[in-house]
Amino acid sequence: MDSLKFPESFAWGASTAAYQIEGGWDADGKGLNIWDTFTHQGGDRVFKNQTGDVACGSYTLWEEDLKCIKQLGLTHYRFSLSWSRLLPDGTTGFINQKGVDYYNKLINNLLAMNVTPLVTLYHFDMPQALEDQGGWKSEKTAEVFEQYAKFCYATFGDRVKLWITINEPYIVAKLGHETGLFAPGIKEPGIGPYRAAHNMIKAHAKAWHAYNTLFKKKQKGHVSIALDSDWAVPLDPKSMDDKEACDRYLQFRLHWFANPIFIDGDYPAVMKSEISRKSKEEGLVTSRLPEFTDEEKSLIKGTADFFCLNYYTSRKVKPLSIKSSGPSFDSDMGAEGIKDPEWPESGVEWLAVVPWGLRRLLAHIKDTFGDPDIYITENGFAQSEPPVLQDKHRWGYFQETLSEVLKAIKQDGVKLKGYFAWSLLDNFEWNSGYSVRFGLFHVDFNQPNLPRTPYFSAIEYAKVVKGNELIYN
Ligand code: NOJ
């Protein structure tokens, strides 16, 4: 059936991130990063005080990962570089050659297998030495990030043609700098996330320009940023309050980053007006949302060669019911998202399975951000403990999702270029540790050689990749 076919040269991938799989936290001269520090602090910041010290052991077992990639028949593999493995204190003052060697091996072997690397520069793991100087809260970090990006383009860019600067800046801002649930564990509600986001957007723009002016002509690659978002619908579609809350929900998540980068170099109007109004009520003379200068706006606008979307779930939205005592991101947004109890839940509490939400979100991106080429750089479903190898229900979710993806391409005309499952392997799921399993391959963390075994989903995904079509048995 032709209608189940994906477009020719569709990219089929799986994604991982350095801290979540590599281990080797202090191997061969790697510097500390904020997740090393955060997990080593204990205090139940992470499920059972687990750490990424060993994780999937990919720093030494990378050939095992390549076997998994081969078994899936992937055309693309997305992974991230550990900044502090390459530059132990975050700066180019000292380069850790062993780190460079590691990524060279990985990249060269992927290319030898005909697998295209999609490389993320920053996936949640700020070098601790830079965090000590303010991390994303400091404007200087944007400059240091630009140097790091240039170093990576110069070192790997002869072979890597697809780059992501920063993964999920929303999560970095909100969980890292508002609630403190993620490293660096900063709890500065209503202030921290806006500052961190401001500097991440500038860092991204600088890194994009560095590529564009210094490397693009020769290396001919493409640079983007990976944005995560729920899809959102009003809880009561007839309620004006719910509709407005729903719009704010999307503006404060996806548009916070996508407006500056894809539209006009600036934050969404509703973020500017709401945060400024609230700041005035609090007696502040300036808004808690920093402003971009005109020069910065023109630097930021148009700094993505394609759109990378991480999609997991959707929400029904209504105005916020519980007001916090002080300032907070949620009260600025004035909206809350609710899971429809009808939606199936996967192995993690926040992930309600809503495949049609992805189709709607893709159409929204097409219509709002200039019909860009889009890659789904993450999508997946977790299992909780104990995981089952025969994860038929999970494959069902993948099938439903891929069917919505096909509709987005064929019926809505979305220029979707690829799909990356999260994740290649079960891995360290941040503050949930190893209790949540997103892998296509099961990893036995109790055995010293950390064996990888395909789930049913991996076997079925390989069939889809091979045929470039959705298959129902
Ligand atoms: C998005 C993040 O990029 C990734 O690191 C995480 O494991 C998945 N979501 C699943 O929560």
What is the separation, in whole angstroms, between the first and last Cα of the chain?
13
Q: Which atom of ligand 1 is nearest to the CA of 124?
A: 5
Q: Which atom of ligand 1 is nearest to the CA of 168?
A: 3
Q: Which residues contact 320 (CB under 8 A, 6 or more apart)?
A: 245, 330, 331, 333, 334, 335, 336
Q: How far is the CA of 128 from the centre of ligand 1 (A)?
A: 21
CA distance readout (Å), 239 to 151, 243, 245: 52, 6, 10
Site of tokens 């941040």: 430
Using only C-alpha atoms, the chain has a radius of gyration, in whole angstroms, of 21
Strand pairing class (374-378; 307-310): parallel
Q: Whose CA is nearest to atom 2 of ligand 1?
A: 168
> CA–CA separation, 395 vs 380, rounded Å?
10
Q: How far is the CA of 371 from the centre of ligand 1 (A)?
A: 25
Q: Is the distance from the beta carbon of residue 422 to the nearest atom of ligand 1 less than 6 Å?
A: yes
Site of tokens 């992974």: 79
Q: How far is the CA of 435 from the centre of ligand 1 (A)?
A: 14
Q: How far is the CA of 423 from the centre of ligand 1 (A)?
A: 9
pLDDT at residue 2 in the model: 60
Site of tokens 């720093």: 59
Q: How far is the CA of 378 from the centre of ligand 1 (A)?
A: 8
Q: Which atom of ligand 1 is nearest to the CA of 438?
A: 10
List the chain pLDDT tens, one digit each, 473 residues: 568 999 999 999 999 999 999 999 999 999 999 999 999 999 999 999 999 999 999 999 999 999 999 999 999 999 999 999 999 999 999 999 999 999 999 999 999 999 999 999 999 999 999 999 999 999 999 999 999 999 999 999 999 999 999 999 999 999 999 999 999 999 999 999 999 999 999 999 999 999 999 999 999 999 999 999 999 999 999 999 999 999 999 999 999 999 999 999 999 999 999 999 999 999 999 999 999 999 999 999 999 999 999 999 999 999 999 877 899 999 999 999 999 999 999 999 999 999 999 999 999 999 999 999 999 999 999 998 899 999 999 999 999 999 999 999 999 999 999 999 999 999 999 999 999 999 999 999 999 999 999 999 999 999 999 999 998 87
CA distance readout (Å), 69 to 32, 154, 216, 395, 450: 29, 26, 28, 18, 16
Q: Whose CA is nearest to atom 10 of ligand 1?
A: 429
CATH architecture group of domain 11-467: Alpha-Beta Barrel (3.20)
Q: Whose CA is nearest to atom 6 of ligand 1?
A: 429
CA distance readout (Å), 459 to 70, 427, 440, 456: 12, 19, 9, 5
Contact 113, 69 (CB under 8 A): yes
Q: Is the distance from the beta carbon of residue 21 to the nearest atom of ligand 1 less than 6 Å?
A: no
Q: Is the distance from the beta carbon of residue 425 to the nearest atom of ligand 1 less than 6 Å?
A: no
Encoded tokens for 242 = 């719910």
Instruction: Return the closest-CA partner of residue 85 out of 95, 99, 97.
Output: 99
Q: Is the distance from the beta carbon of residue 168 to the nearest atom of ligand 1 less than 6 Å?
A: yes
Other Cβ atoms within 10 Å of 164 Cβ, number = 25
User: Which amino acid appears at position 346 of this protein?
Assistant: S
All structural domains of the chain with their residue ranges: 11-467
Q: Whose CA is nearest to atom 11 of ligand 1?
A: 429
Q: How far is the CA of 438 from the centre of ligand 1 (A)?
A: 9
Q: Is the distance from the beta carbon of residue 381 to the nearest atom of ligand 1 less than 6 Å?
A: no
Check residue 32 and report its DSSP letter: P
Q: How far is the CA of 240 from the centre of ligand 1 (A)?
A: 33
Encoded tokens for 412 = 């809505």
Q: What is the dihedral of CA 254, 75, 150, 61, to 10 degrees?
A: 110
User: Which amino acid appears at position 299 of this protein?
Assistant: L
Site of tokens 């383009």: 153
Q: Which atom of ligand 1 is nearest to the CA of 430?
A: 7
Q: Is the distance from the beta carbon of residue 378 to the nearest atom of ligand 1 less than 6 Å?
A: yes
Instruction: Give the residue, out of 123, 311, 384, 422, with the most ligand 1 atoms within 8 A of its beta carbon, to mutate for a pocket test.
Output: 422
How many residues does this entry show for the chain? Answer: 473
Contact 120, 17 (CB under 8 A): yes
Q: Is the distance from the beta carbon of residue 230 to the nearest atom of ligand 1 less than 6 Å?
A: no
Quick check: helix, strand or coil at residue 140? helix
Just list the catalytic residues. Answer: 168, 378
CA distance readout (Å), 183 to 85, 179, 186, 272, 359: 17, 10, 7, 27, 32
Q: What is the dihedral of CA 9, 10, 12, 16, to 10 degrees?
A: 110
User: Which amino acid appears at position 248 of this protein?
Assistant: R
Q: Whose CA is nearest to atom 5 of ligand 1?
A: 17
> CA–CA separation, 380 vs 422, rounded Å?
5
